Amino acid sequence: MNIKPQNPKTELAVTEPSFRKPGTETWEPLKMSSVVSNGEDNNTTKDCQKAGQANEELKTILLQSLQMQHLVVLAGSGCSYDAGGPTMGKLWNSIVENNQTQAQSVARIVKYNIDTSKNIEAFLSQIEGANFLQEPKINSFLNNAKEIILRETTSFLLEDSKEKLKAHETFLHRLSRRRIRDQRLRVFTTNYDLCFERTAASIGCVAIDGFSFVAPRIYDPRYFDYDIIRRPRFGDEIGNYLEGVFLLYKLHGSVIWEKTDYGVIETANPDPQKACLIYPASGKYQESYSQPFIESISQYLSAIREPNTCLLVVGFGFNDDHLSEPLLSAVRSNPHLRLIVVDPNAKEKATKDSNRYFSKLLELSINGEDIFFINDTFENFANRIPDLKTLTPAERLFKDIKGVMQRQ
């Protein structure tokens, strides 16, 4: 069956880009007015000036943040939406709406109302917790759901992936060009898809993902401790660390991971029943603490407690307790952690009852914790990231001095 990738922008509402600093509830507008003032509209002129100042201030903040010793990214499904990845609503339609007869039958057995609660994660959780998995009808439906999830998180990158991954390309290209003396960029993602891997290959970056460097690629967490240097041409020269290397942790598995008798391997077409994925259900909390996922979780828990760390949270909805709870704890206990949350609906969420973790972070930010919120899409944010390589040493010094003066 051919699956036509949806346009995620029709499913995700995006409000006006803005950002919010610690210690305030004011959102600074970032969008410049499309109306050019001729001196007759003072309000337009003031709005443009205000947006221009906000953009410059955000650029300075990002520049300071990206030059912190440790740079960590937590990327959620929102990053893949912009590339055409499936939303939870799309998965619900593919699994339930397109198979109404079987879905209704299974729903009656496990006592789930699919007419009033169209939540694929809740439905699959109810199935897994119903203790009816030996029933052929339920087992068949669950296996079919897993096949659909695997297929749809793969299919959207089969064609024109280069064009779809422009935002990922900009994002990785700029973040991976950090100073050699700083720690490697670490990217933690809950996404199964290959957006970051495809992007790294297209721009010449190297992702150290915990797999061996020869085929068959076998997972071994020792590879996360390796790095790559450029070998000197002459014996008396000292090797240098290779640019563009970053660490990639797939917190919920990957569409090319498969469990075998001798470990987890990479394969182009894994068996859906052997695929190494944590499927969307409440049981993913327990599954994340089994191999190979526990290694990535351990690295995540360690990374967010390092001193002098900037954590970029992009496209993540804080719906995974096993990731959100440690993050909230780190914000409270790590005084050297800077948190930047990028969400296209952050401003809207701040005005109503939202996810409890998001609400708590908003509260902590108001109280002065080092937490910034950027109300923007992943694509727009990627273009806002300053390119560190474009700055001369003198410009960097000027930026640092300017930042110190602004904080005084």
Q: What is the tens place of the pLDDT at every residue in 225-262?
A: 999 988 887 766 777 888 899 999 999 999 999 999 88
Q: How is residue 242 annotated by DSSP?
A: P
What is the model's pLDDT at position 3? 37
Task: Return the SS3 of 317.
Answer: coil
Strand order in the sheet with 275-277: 263-266, 253-260, 275-277
Region 349-354: mean pLDDT is 83
Distance CA 365, CA 354 (A): 15
Distance CA 374, CA 18 (A): 6
**pTM, full prediction:** 0.86
What is the model's pLDDT at position 400? 64
**pLDDT tens, position by position, 288-317:** 667 788 999 999 999 999 999 999 999 999
Phi, psi of 256 (to 5 degrees): -115, 15
Bigger pLDDT: 22 vs 111: 22
314 and 269 in contact (C-beta within 8 Å)?
no
Task: Return the SS3 of 402.
Answer: helix
**pLDDT tens, position by position, 57-91:** 999 999 999 889 999 999 999 999 889 999 888 99
**CA 182 to chain CA centroid, nearest Å:** 22
Q: What percent of the chain has pLDDT over 90?
A: 57
pLDDT at 176 over 80: yes
Give the β-pairing of 18-20 and 28-29.
Answer: antiparallel
Contacts of 254 (CB under 8 A, 6+ apart): 192, 193, 194, 266, 276, 277
250 and 209 in contact (C-beta within 8 Å)?
yes
CATH 3.40.50.1220 residue ranges for the chain: 15-31+41-85+161-252+288-407
CATH 3.40.309.10 for the 15-31+41-85+161-252+288-407 domain, yes or no: no
pLDDT at 11 over 60: no
